[in-house]
Amino acid sequence: MVAMTAHQEDTVDVALGERTVPVPGGGLYDTYRMRTDLNAVAQDPRVAGVEFFRDQPKTEVSSPIGPTWTPNFYYAMSSARLTMLAPTRSLRPRLPEELDPLEIAPGFGLASLMLFRYDVADIDFYTEAAVGIAVRPPRHGPFGAVDTLAGLKNDHLHAYVLSLPVSTEIAQVRGQDGYGFPKWVAPLDVTVGGQRTSARIGNGAGGTDLEFSAPTPAQQHHPSGTRVSSLTSYTQVDGAWHATFNQTNVLATGTSKFPKNVSLTLGQGRVSDDLRSLRPVRNLAFDASTSAQAALHMPTVLSLGR
């Protein structure tokens, strides 16, 4: 069985395009280079099962990081999202002109702080945080409420990400060079536990960028494949617009609406600066999934012409 511990001291260097990054020696990426043996992964006690991945065969594609296999699989993960109401006048200046904020009421849209912990993944353990803006799908109709209801009904939302710190170099290089996401490596702790969810993002000066803490909502369990949500994110790669599609197989999740017992401390750093710029006025929902899996596809070229 391949060693897949979250903290491995021995590393090996691997090439991603023109860059070289360290990965855990004997880990999933070192062993399989994105063509992970599902039977081996299934032996890990942290992995609830691999049925979700068997129906998604990987294909080899060319990319800015060299030939790679897609989708990128996350076999055991947890995540959380704080969704906030924010004025459209603050959201719109942070978006490219090709995208429009998704309005849920006249003059107001949605901003989110998202937290991720990937315990077992094709590119090994790492943590991640994101600040994002909900956007209308390209070539949308004139009514934001219709877009909102359609997205919620199908559990499929669209987003533009402003900041995306990660804890490992391979996650940063693949995300930035391969997908076009605004990623950088930062000290980043994320825990989505049964009782409490917490996170701390460090900055380059040794201080705190952001701290977060909230009770984890009561979890409802779902059989694999019965609750699959999706998110499409928009980025620019080599000057061209791309769409990145991500599917999440939710195994345990819960929601607190209009949460009041959320502790969010903004410090000094890119994540806090981005949140401040959006001027959120109210917490609408706090979603947390203590158990999930995901398939992240390589980005595809998209036309966003007006």
State which residues form the domain around 112: 74-301
Q: What is the pLDDT of residue 237?
A: 85
The structural domain count of the chain equals 1
pTM (2 decimals)?
0.93
| Domain assignment present for 39 | no
| Domain assignment present for 129 | yes
| Domain assignment present for 33 | no
Q: Which two tokens stand for residue 170?
A: 């391979």
Q: What is the pLDDT of residue 4?
A: 43
Q: What is the pLDDT of residue 136?
A: 93
| Domain assignment present for 242 | yes
CATH of the domain at 144: 2.40.400.10
7-11, 39-43, 301-305: range with lowest mean pLDDT? 7-11
| Domain assignment present for 244 | yes
Report the chain's mean pLDDT, rounded to a whole number: 92
Q: What sign results for the dihedral spanned by CA atoms 27, 32, 38, 39?
A: negative
- Distance (Å, whole) CA 56 – CA 71: 8
| Domain assignment present for 22 | no
Query: Interior CA angle at 285 toward 244 and 84, to 5°?
Result: 70
- Distance (Å, whole) CA 207 – CA 293: 32
- Distance (Å, whole) CA 276 – CA 262: 17
- Distance (Å, whole) CA 169 – CA 106: 41
| Domain assignment present for 3 | no
Strands (E), 106-150: 108-121, 126-134
- Distance (Å, whole) CA 220 – CA 241: 37
Statement: residue 135 has pLDDT above 60: yes
Q: What is the pLDDT of residue 305?
A: 61
Q: What is the pLDDT of residue 140?
A: 60
pLDDT in tens, 194-219: 999 999 999 989 999 999 999 999 99
Q: What is the pLDDT of residue 1?
A: 44
The residue-averaged pLDDT of 112-139 equals 95
Q: Which two tokens stand for residue 303?
A: 């036309």
Calculate the alpha carbon distances from 222 to 107, 226, 238, 251, 289 in Å. Answer: 36, 6, 40, 5, 11
pLDDT in tens, 157-208: 999 999 999 999 999 999 999 999 999 999 999 999 999 999 999 998 999 9
Q: What is the pLDDT of residue 303?
A: 78
Distance of CA 302 to the CA centre of its chain: 20
Q: What is the pLDDT of residue 99?
A: 95
| Domain assignment present for 249 | yes
**Can you tell me whether residue 174 is helix, strand or coil?**
helix
pLDDT in tens, 52-86: 999 999 999 999 999 999 999 999 999 999 999 99
- Distance (Å, whole) CA 229 – CA 222: 12
Q: What is the pLDDT of residue 115?
A: 98
